[in-house]
Structure 1
């Protein structure tokens, strides 16, 4: 049976995918007490990487949509960290967003808004968080966005 968060996600037309496996020698998340640290999730949709460089071959709106996909992957990892019980989420604490962009591009916050806005829309006040949005000269596999997250959960 779906809980409150998955019901809200369904209302938004979102079904959480299976949590992606790590691509190297690291774990997808670490649970420490009531905190969950989720490794960076790259921009993917329908099993395909969303690639691009802001300021060169991708616009801000397209990258913000890619950031939204990163947020969905973060929630999938969080669900796995909670043993399938995503309603244990107390709040999103912090996101760090990395945007593959040229030195001249300065709209990194607008790109990461795609993730932030989605989390607030899906989770209400639990989704409000501290945040950093920074430029990266490149990201793994040429993806447009990578976002990591810190979450507080009920034990």
Structure 2
């Protein structure tokens, strides 16, 4: 990295830290959470559709997305919702992602040869790390609910 790039990076980090300190970060994270949840849900729907929604639990990520998106969007405008509904919906999202992780690990184990043939089964079976992305989006919603809102006292 050149010295100019480092100067810009330092300014960007300073701006983010100032925004967090002044409370602007909460609204931004709520918006990013809503957008990310929609994108992750679309991907999950596509992949589970290819799997014909063979297990009823494959619908759970689709079902928990609208409440998170609604809470995150409302959390941009309402402090009360950002501190109550958003963390509740986010926890549900994290739990769904972690449950998906367990189910995907089980799915790899159930393929012929199970984990003994992990080199093949991890690639051809359910994506083991994909539910982690789902849980991470819920974590972003929790982060948005935990940081200070603009105009609040420290």
Q: TM-score, normalised by structure 2?
A: 0.29
Larger radius of gyration: 2
**Structure with a larger share of its residues in strand:** 1
